Amino acid sequence: MSHPHSGYPVRLVLALVGLAISGIYLHQHFELHGLDQLSVNRRSGEPAEGRNSLLASFLPATVAALPAEQDEVAEPTTLTSTTPAAQPAPAPERLAAENLRIATWAMGGFGATQAANPEVMEVFTAVIERFDIVALQQIRATERDFLPNLIIRLNQTGRRYDYLAGPPQVPPGGSADAEQLVFLFDTARVVTDRTQLYTVADPDNRLTHKPLVAWFRAAEVDPRHAWTFSLVNMRIELSRARQEVYELPRVIAAIGTDGRGEDDVVVAGLLQADHVYLAATLGERNHALAIRGKMTDIFTRHQTSNIITDRRATTEAIGRGDVLDFLRYHNLSIAQAEQVSPYLPVYAEFSPMEGGY
């Protein structure tokens, strides 16, 4: 039989523990004012509802809002959600994509005969795959399916190339076969608007081959920060090189004011002049050239192809360009290389970010 007072010490201990916990809670969460007129007030800054007080103390008061122009709003990463606070627009990703490689390649009359040659197509495909956009000159093919079949061949390795082509152009007098200016481009790297493709009007026939102009935008960065540009595919006739090179500043100015509001105009093509002559004609202070002092034919005799950018507007040009010697890469003889093209591709690199990195 137990003693009637044996439970008192246990209850006493529990009561003391309870008083201690209550005292700690009151001290942490409330302030005591006066002893003659005791009042209990909640400490300033405490949450109004006690059940969330511990959780809320570890979470921010608000969830930062994405910029207003953001299309998709991310889910909050915390458990609180209150009125969004205005925040500055985030800086664009600096290394979101590799530099864009833009090339120009004169093909010397590339057409159905070359496309039917497996060895030629192997080299051609390997060269094109090194670049994101290639401006081709001297394409001669009367078959309507020539360019679509060319794209099918290029994409057999899993790439996603497409093309833009200008109308066949027959030189005045009809003394030569019709030629086309063509853009090949990797759709994973750049996007285009086909409605913006046009051939430069030249009612006075100052140019034998009318330049083809396309609009592109880098595809692998946020469209708000992606570089956009007009790319001009130009082919100057060798027999009229002096007169037609003289027209280059006028052509560039006309494209820059074509109403599209695009300030970046890049000219790529078979220009039939070396860097010294081009710089003197364009003004070296305002225009940059992809290559200087390098030959652009397989015989290493002449510099005829180049890429022109405006130093003032196209800050995306990083100043790196070169000639691709596909003979050396594929260990070809001059005779073998000539079956592909008598010219070497010229390329330049550009930042995919508007304004550069």
Provide the token pair at 297: 């034919």
**Terminal C-alpha separation, the chain:** 89
Q: What is the pLDDT of residues 90-124, one digit of tens each?
A: 433 434 479 999 999 999 999 999 999 999 999 99
Give the C-alpha distances (Å, rounded to integers) separating 96 from 93, 321, 354: 5, 21, 12
Delineate the domains of the chain, giving CATH numbers in brackets.
1-44 (no CATH), 100-350 (3.60.10.10)
Instruction: For residue 16, give the H/E element and its range.
Output: helix 8-29
Instruction: For residue 271, give the H/E element and its range.
Output: none
| Model pTM score | 0.73
The identity of residue 230, as a single letter, is S
How high is the mean pLDDT of the chain? 80
Q: How many CA atoms lie within 13 A of 355 on its CB side?
A: 6
Q: How far apart are CA 49 and CA 92, in angstroms?
A: 41
Q: How many CA atoms lie within 13 A of 18 on its CB side?
A: 6
pLDDT range class, residue 141, cuts 50, 70, 90: confident
Q: What is the pLDDT of residues 322-349, one digit of tens each?
A: 999 999 999 999 999 999 999 999 999 9
Residue that is written with structure tokens 């051609």 in the block: 124
Q: How do 228-235 and 265-270 pair as beta strands?
A: parallel
pLDDT at 350: 98
